[in-house]
Amino acid sequence: MTGTPVWSGDERQERFAEYVELVDRVLSNERTDYRGKYYTCEGAVMLPGPVQTPRPPLLIAAHGPRALEVAARYADTWNFVEPGPGLEGKEAVESFSKLNDLLSERAEAAGRDPNAITRSFACGFSASSSWRSLEEAMAGIELFEQAGVNEFLFTYSPTQPKDQVAQLDAMGVPFCSRASRTSTTWGRC
């Protein structure tokens, strides 16, 4: 449909890993030469360069072992996306915990401190999500905080009932929440 070839799962994983490595290099260096299996650049320069050093933070959503390896090497934040209906409560937290443990193992193997990687969770509440009400979401957030999530990206649809949006807004969380490693603070993103 778009003229792009359909890549196998292995090729998608390889391209993802190579692309993240390239982005990391381009954002971290004044000049980048890179020759990979899929991507190549010579003398790539980022102008203007990033304000943050060594580069802007990278958020990587990953759920499979190979993608978690990439996140373990390069992510400043690893994002766990809401598993959706059918995997709720303690089962969803167990799913997160298994992936979180694997991320930590992969980070250590890559020579990184696993605690240097923020754990985020993209979640929301609606009839089609794991949490169908604000109350369920608040209870779920507590479980995920206990399991190690320290940042919540709270999303909702523009078609969501206005009273639910008003509840979030009254709490100061119309779009997302951010939790520090020691306490949760709500704010606009």
Higher pLDDT, 12 or 162: 12
CA distance between the termini of the chain: 34
pLDDT range class, residue 138, cuts 50, 70, 90: confident
Q: Partners of 151 in the beta sheet?
A: 120, 178
Q: Quick one: average pLDDT of 141-163?
A: 77
Asked whether the predicted pLDDT for residue 70 surpasses 80, the reply is: yes
pLDDT range class, residue 135, cuts 50, 70, 90: confident
Q: Quick one: average pLDDT of 106-119?
A: 97
pLDDT range class, residue 175, cuts 50, 70, 90: very low
Longest CA pairwise span in the chain (Å): 54
Q: For residue 161, what pLDDT is reported?
A: 64
pLDDT range class, residue 89, cuts 50, 70, 90: confident
> In the predicted model, what is the mean pLDDT of the chain?
82
Prediction pTM value = 0.80
Residue pLDDT, tens place only, 7-37: 999 999 999 999 999 999 999 999 999 999 9
